[in-house]
C-alpha cells in the first residue's frame, strides 16, 4: 500500500473511530475536508508539507543519534511533534 493511500485511509478511519467511540472529543478533530464540486479546480496545496518536514526530522534525528546525542534527539523529536500537531490537517 503506498503512503498516499495509507494516509487517506488513516485520516478517514481515525475520524470514524473518534466520531463513534469518542463523541465528547469532537472538538479535537479538524474540520472535514470539503468535497469539491464536479469540474472545479482543486485547492492549492497546504503551506505545510508533512512528507518534507518528516524527512527533515528523520535526517536530523538520525544524525543526533549517530553522534550519541540521545537526549538532544528526544528533545528535538518532541519539539517537532508539537509542530506537527499544531499544523495537522
**Residue 88 shares a structural domain with residue 62:** yes
Cα(69)–Cα(36) distance, integer angstroms: 47
> Which range of residues forms the domain containing residue 63?
44-89
**What is the pLDDT at residue 89?**
52
* 36-69 per-position pLDDT tens digit: 778 778 767 667 888 889 999 999 999 999 999 9
Tell me the pTM.
Answer: 0.48
38 secondary structure, DSSP code = T
Contact 30, 89 (CB under 8 A): yes
**Residue 32 shares a structural domain with residue 64:** no
Cα(14)–Cα(32) distance, integer angstroms: 12
Number of domains in the chain: 2
What does the mean pLDDT of the chain come to? 85
**Residue 49 shares a structural domain with residue 87:** yes
**What is the pLDDT at residue 1?**
47
**Residue 89 shares a structural domain with residue 48:** yes
**Residue 57 shares a structural domain with residue 88:** yes
Q: Which residue has the higher pLDDT, 73 or 17?
A: 73
**Residue 27 shares a structural domain with residue 61:** no
Cα(55)–Cα(8) distance, integer angstroms: 19
Averaged pLDDT, 70-87: 92
Amino acid at each position: 500500500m503506498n503512503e498516499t493511500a495509507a494516509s487517506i485511509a488513516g485520516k478517514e478511519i481515525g475520524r470514524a473511530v473518534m466520531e463513534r467511540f469518542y463523541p465528547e472529543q469532537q472538538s479535537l478533530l479538524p474540520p472535514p475536508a470539503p468535497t469539491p464540486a464536479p469540474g472545479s479546480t482543486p485547492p492549492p496545496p497546504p503551506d505545510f508539507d508533512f512528507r518534507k518536514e518528516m524527512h527533515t526530522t528523520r535526517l536530523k534525528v538520525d544524525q543526533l543519534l549517530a553522534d550519541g546525542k540521545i537526549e538532544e534527539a528526544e528533545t528535538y523529536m518532541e519539539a517537532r511533534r508539537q509542530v506537527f500537531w499544531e499544523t495537522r490537517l
